[in-house]
Amino acid sequence: MNSTDSTDTPLLISDEDGIRTMTLNRPAARNAVNLALATAIDAAVTELDERDDLVVGIIAANGPTFSAGMDLKAFLRGERPVTPGRGFAGLVEAPPRTPLIAAVDGPAVAGGFEIVLACDLIVAAENAFFALPEVKRGLVAAGGGLLRLPGRLPYHLAMELALTGKQISAADAANLGLINQVVEPGTALQAAKALAAEIAVCGPLAVATTKQILQDSPSWTAEEAFSRQSDLCDPVRSSVDAVEGARAFTEKRSPVWTGR
């Protein structure tokens, strides 16, 4: 599935070399999320998980703002930008099994920051900043920001950002380990694609399972950790791709993955 560059299309989609790039395309509205955009993201990440030829996804944005969060004009009209099962932006409550990289050029605030936090890797331009200003509007950051931020930043700093709505710069976020790379303005997508390419050459089953273990294991007890890990790893170890990976290594060639 590939979308053309049109402002009538809220989400642009491009698939290449195992990478799906999903570009928020409401620049006139600062890429605020309405129901149409949320529905498009839901469909795009659902298909991302279903496709054997796609190993990693990128979420980027057109225009000078990554996303201003929920479309408040649509909210006042009674619209809620949520989808069944995935929640706000068709993403935050149930991100895909496939790893996601956020390519952030410009501000990512409110629900925009929560979209970023739902991703597994974050590349941000020097001019990017992040904030959860919901409390300033009499709202609560209920799109995953309050749930995810304490696990990514020191507790007291997460509390300060959430209670005051203060901004954090890309540079400060990188120093705190919140994001992976800080790059020059206008190059976040290019850098995210380079990072995605490093993932895309790996086995898709192994990549998805590795993400799942890293994501789920903090809630496992020490007694169950290895058995639960084995339950996830054993199907990968017995897969066609595992045989192909070993054979390609011995034959000194690049593997041809099938996702099986």
Please tell me the predicted confidence (pLDDT) of residue 137: 86
260 found inside a domain: no
Provide the pLDDT for residue 1. Answer: 40
Q: Kindly report the pTM of this predicted structure.
A: 0.92
From 16, 47, 126, 134, active-site residue: 134
pLDDT band at 2 (very low <50, low <70, confident <90, very high): very low
- Same domain assignment for residues 66 and 162: yes
260 is written with which tokens? Answer: 């099986």
CA distances from 145 to 30, 68, 101, 198 (A): 19, 14, 17, 28
Contact 22, 13 (CB under 8 A): yes
- Residue 75: the pLDDT is 86
- Percentage of the residues of the chain whose pLDDT score is greater than 70: 97
Rounded distance between C-alpha atoms, residue 107 and residue 247, angstroms: 46
pLDDT digits 0-9 by tens, 160-186: 999 999 999 999 999 999 999 999 999
Average pLDDT over the chain, rounded to an integer = 94
Q: What is the mean pLDDT of residues 119-137?
A: 96
- Tell whether the model's pLDDT for residue 47 goes beyond 90: yes
Same domain, 125 and 234: no
Pair 212, 194 in one domain: no
Give domain status of residue 138, yes or no: yes
User: How many angstroms separate the CA atoms of 247 and 203, rounded?
Assistant: 13
Q: Which of 180, 200, 220 is the last residue of a domain?
A: 200
Instruction: Spell out a b/e string for 118-138, using b for 16 or more CB atoms within 10 Å of the CB, else e.
Output: bbbbbbbbbbbbbbbbbeeee
- Residue 52 and residue 115 share a domain: yes
Domain that holds residue 25: 11-200
Query: Residue 60: its pLDDT value, please?
Result: 98
Both 158 and 82 in one domain: the answer is yes
What is the number of structural domains in the chain? Answer: 2
Residue 3 has pLDDT above 50, yes or no: no
> Cβ(24)–Cβ(37) under 8 Å?
yes
> Can you give the CATH number for the domain in which 71 is found?
3.90.226.10
The token pair that represents 206 in the structure block: 């192994």
Q: Please provide residue 57's backbone torsions phi and psi, each rounded to the nearest 5 degrees.
A: -120, 155
Do 182 and 218 have their domain in common? Answer: no
Compute the average pLDDT of residues 88-106.
Answer: 97
- pLDDT of 7: 58
> What does the alpha-carbon distance between residue 50 and residue 30 come to, in Å, rounded to a whole number?
30
234 falls within a domain: yes
Residue 198 is a catalytic residue: no
171 part of a folded domain: yes
Catalytic site includes residue 114: yes
Regarding whether 196 and 233 lie in a shared domain, the answer is no
Task: State the pLDDT at residue 260.
Answer: 87
pLDDT tier for residue 8 given thresholds of 50, 70 and 90: confident
Interval 43-63 mean pLDDT = 95
> Do residues 105 and 208 share a domain?
no
Model confidence band, residue 6 (pLDDT cutoffs 50, 70, 90): low
Residue 246 shares a structural domain with residue 154: no
Domain presence at residue 42? yes
**87 and 126 share one domain:** yes
Q: Catalytic pick from 47, 50, 114, 126?
A: 114
d(CA 185, CA 126): 6
182-226 tens-digit pLDDT: 999 999 999 999 999 999 999 999 999 999 999 999 999 999 999
- If one counts every other C-beta atom within 10 angstroms of the C-beta of residue 115, the result is 31
Structural domain contains residue 50: yes
Q: How many of the other CB atoms lie within 10 Å of CB of 250? A: 8
Q: Measured on CA atoms in the order 172, 174, 175, 176, is the torsion positive or negative? A: positive
The pLDDT tens digits for 236-258 are 999 999 999 999 999 999 999 98
